[in-house]
């Protein structure tokens, strides 16, 4: 269906892609993997008509094509689903699906009636077409008239896939499609991709989650430093080999050794609650990483924000004291690495240095550690202090967030999805740093939707369900045991 040969691209004299080959067949899931900066995003933008290649050829169905605009790629049957959805929350599902392509009433009477009603859009036709596409996918969790803002993240992803099908897409590019999904919602994504495959739709799948690559892909192409390393059938490569191809070295074991033992209690909760949490009992100890598991809506992020003082507890006890605001939480030595680093963790147009000093300046302190030393400790590459954060990869942005909190040397550090949207090399660096901080005596609480990460990093796992603690599991517990508690089933 798609054939790219010798594709190259440069920006301002910097070589981003060099001689890349890629081919995708109908009904295939073709994974494209590589570290941040490997050239994946640029390659996808060339496929979708955002950028034109400087060299090389592209063919669709054996015929040469040249896309000067995304609409031209769309007319050839190519659609892209971005990691951050392109949906208008105030509009309905049908309005989003047909945005910019709304059907209009053609008959004179219909045109007059539509004009008198305030528009000429044929809403009935639009909603019927949307309903048919939802039915074809085998998913009917919402109606075409429902407002997108009322849908879950997984349901919004269905809307994006329906948008792609509405333009008769034969090739769908998915960029980190599971990044915003909870574990149980990934199963829905798998089903949807299976149905696309059955329809003969080709899927180019970009993900840092190797488990998904091995679950879904027929073949995998590895990019490194703007060049194609290899393309292999997924059955001919192991996870360790794939990591080695991506990063050019062995990363050893996935996770660093666990703590030898926990120290004193740094933070304790007894019967703590607010409008979303109830009767939370929890202890965070020095030298320990406590994992927090649960389905979406279980209260994981709400727990972190309550401890931090952003959404304070209103009942129960918290020792040494219960913060009533973020400022009080920071003064108590509590830090929070938020789930969405771009919106809540960083000021993207400011420099690395300014972002690293955000917390220290906010509380009127100079910071207890030098910025240069901290950037070296978090392994920022390259550690240029004056560079704007928006130009860094996701992994390096997350490292700046860590440096921001380490300036204050917190006693308790809360991580909400610490490696979301981060490549395997940066994941390993963040995991190592988290364990180093714990070994230095920090108490760490880690929320993660990736069960392998939760199991591999945690000294114990606390499972939440419906705003309560459903149970606590020891280190190394199985995914099944966690899911049984999270879903309320008896193991």
pLDDT in tens, 474-490: 998 988 899 889 877 54
Cα–Cα dist 358/430, whole Å: 20
Per-residue burial over 297-318, b = 16 or more CB atoms within 10 Å of its CB, e = otherwise? ebbbbbbbbbbbbbbbbeebeb
355-410 per-position pLDDT tens digit? 999 998 887 766 555 788 888 888 887 768 888 998 887 888 999 999 999 988 89
Mean pLDDT of all residues in 20-31:
96
List the 202-206 sheet strands across, edge first. Answer: 78-81, 171-175, 202-206, 29-33, 219-224, 227-233
Q: Which two tokens stand for residue 69?
A: 């605009």
User: CA 464, CA 182: separation in Å to the nearest integer?
Assistant: 13
Q: What sections of 175-278 are H helices per DSSP?
A: 183-198, 210-216, 239-247
Q: What are phi and psi of 224, to 5 degrees?
A: -150, 125
Structure confidence at residue 249 (pLDDT): 63
The burial class, CB within 10 Å (0-12 / 13-18 / 19+), for 369 is middle
Per-residue pLDDT tens digits for 104-138: 876 655 555 555 454 678 888 889 998 988 887 77
pLDDT at 491: 43
CA–CA dist 17, 14 (Å, integer): 9
C-alpha distances (whole Å) from 276 to each of 298, 301, 315, 414, 489 are 9, 10, 11, 18, 22
Distances (CA, A) of 401 to 14, 323, 428: 27, 22, 16
Q: Please report where in the chains the tokens 């390659």 appear, as a residue.
A: 43
Q: Give the integer Cα–Cα distance in Å for 21 and 42.
A: 13
Omega before residue 382 within 30° of 0, cis: yes
User: How far out from the chain centre does Cα 170 lie?
Assistant: 25
pLDDT (tens digit per residue) in 141-183: 788 999 998 887 778 888 888 888 888 889 999 988 887 676 6
Q: How far, in whole angstroms, is CA 70 from its chain's centroid?
A: 24
pLDDT (tens digit per residue) in 189-221? 888 899 889 989 999 999 888 889 999 999 999
- What domains, with CATH codes, occur in the chain? 2-77+170-247 (3.40.50.300), 265-487 (3.40.50.300)
Chain segment 287-336, per-residue pLDDT in tens:
999 999 998 789 999 999 999 999 999 999 999 999 999 999 999 999 99
Give the pLDDT of residue 111: 54
Residue whose C-alpha is closest to residue 151's, from 123, 197, 188:
188
In sequence order, the 6+-apart residues with CB closer than 8 A to the CB of 47 are 2, 4, 58, 73, 78, 80, 171, 173, 204
Separation of CA 42 from chain center: 18
What whole-number distance in Å separates Cα of residue 151 and Cα of residue 143?
Answer: 10
**Measured distance CA(266)–CA(268) in Å, rounded:** 7
Three-state SS for 27-87 is: CCEEEEECCCCCCHHHHHHHHCCCCCCCEEEEEECCEECCCCCHHHHHHCCEEEECCCCCC
Return the minimum-mean-pLDDT range out of 44-58, 237-251, 409-423: 237-251
Residue 11 has a pLDDT of 86
77: Cα within 13 Å, side-chain hemisphere: 14
**CA distances (Å), origin 481, targets 203, 458, 464, 476, 478:** 33, 14, 13, 10, 5
Model confidence, pTM: 0.69
Residues 248, 446: Cα–Cα separation, whole Å: 29
Q: What number is the average pLDDT over the span 47-61? A: 94
Taking the C-alpha atoms of residue 27 and residue 23, their distance in angstroms, rounded to an integer, is 13
- The model's confidence at residue 222, banded by pLDDT at 50, 70 and 90, is very high
Taking the CA atoms of 215, 175, 61 and 63 in sequence, report the sign of the dihedral they define. negative
Question: Token digits for 96?
Answer: 């989003």
Rounded Cα gap, residues 135 and 155, in angstroms: 14
| Residue 311 region by backbone torsions, left for phi larger than 0, else alpha for psi between -120 and 50, else beta | beta
Asked whether residue 464 carries a pLDDT value surpassing 90, the answer given is: yes
Q: What is the CA radius of gyration of the chain?
A: 24
Q: What is the tens place of the pLDDT at every residue in 275-296?
A: 999 999 999 999 999 999 998 7
Helices (H), 371-459: 371-377, 394-406, 424-439, 451-457
3-state secondary structure of 163: helix
Per-chain mean pLDDT for the chain: 87
């Amino acid at each position: 269906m798609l054939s790219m040969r010798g594709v190259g691209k440069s920006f301002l004299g910097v070589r981003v892609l060099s001689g890349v080959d890629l081919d995708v067949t109908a009904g295939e899931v073709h994974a494209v993997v590589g570290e941040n900066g490997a050239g994946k995003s640029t390659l996808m933008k060339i496929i979708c008509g955002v950028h034109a290649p400087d060299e090389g050829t592209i063919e669709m169905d054996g015929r040469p094509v040249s896309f000067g605009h995304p609409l031209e790629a769309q007319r050839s049957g190519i659609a892209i689903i971005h990691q951050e959805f392109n949906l208008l929350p105030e509009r309905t599902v049908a309005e989003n699906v047909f945005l910019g392509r709304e059907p209009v009433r053609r008959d004179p009477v219909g045109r007059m009636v539509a004009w008198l009603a305030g528009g000429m859009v044929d809403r009935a036709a639009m909603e019927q077409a949307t309903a048919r596409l939802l039915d074809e996918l085998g998913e009917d969790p919402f109606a075409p008239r429902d407002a997108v803002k009322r849908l879950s993240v997984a349901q919004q992803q269905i809307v994006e896939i329906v948008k792609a099908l509405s333009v008769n897409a034969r090739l769908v590019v998915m960029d980190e499609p599971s990044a915003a999904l909870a574990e149980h919602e990934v199963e829905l994504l798998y089903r949807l991709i299976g149905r696309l495959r059955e329809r003969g739709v080709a899927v180019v799948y970009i993900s840092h989650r190797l488990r998904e690559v091995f679950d879904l892909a027929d073949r995998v192409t590895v990019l490194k430093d703007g060049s194609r390393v290899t393309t292999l059938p997924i059955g001919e490569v192991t996870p360790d080999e794939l990591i080695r191809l991506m990063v050019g070295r062995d990363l050893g074991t996935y996770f660093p050794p666990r703590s030898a033992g926990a120290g004193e209690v740094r933070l304790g909760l007894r019967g703590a609650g607010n409008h979303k949490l109830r009767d939370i009992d929890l202890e965070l100890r020095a030298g320990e990483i406590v994992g927090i598991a649960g389905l979406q809506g279980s209260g994981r992020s709400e727990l972190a924000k309550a401890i931090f003082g952003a959404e304070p507890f209103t009942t129960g006890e918290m020792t040494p004291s219960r913060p009533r605001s973020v400022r009080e939480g920071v003064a108590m030595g509590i830090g929070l690495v938020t789930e969405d680093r771009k919106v809540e963790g960083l000021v993207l147009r400011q420099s690395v240095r300014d972002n690293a000093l955000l917390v220290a300046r906010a509380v009127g302190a100079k910071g207890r550690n030098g910025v240069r030393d901290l950037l070296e400790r978090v392994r920022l590459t390259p550690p240029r202090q004056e560079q704007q954060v928006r130009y860094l990869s996701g992994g390096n942005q997350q490292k700046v967030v860590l440096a921001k909190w380490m300036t204050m040397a917190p006693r308790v550090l809360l991580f909400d999805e610490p490696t979301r949207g981060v490549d395997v090399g940066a994941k390993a660096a963040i995991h190592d740093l988290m364990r180093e901080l714990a070994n230095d005596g920090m108490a760490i609480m880690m929320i993660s939707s990736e069960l392998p990460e939760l199991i591999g990093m945690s000294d114990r796992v606390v499972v939440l369900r419906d705003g309560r603690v459903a149970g606590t599991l020891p280190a190394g517990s199985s995914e099944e045991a966690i899911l049984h508690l999270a879903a309320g089933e008896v193991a």
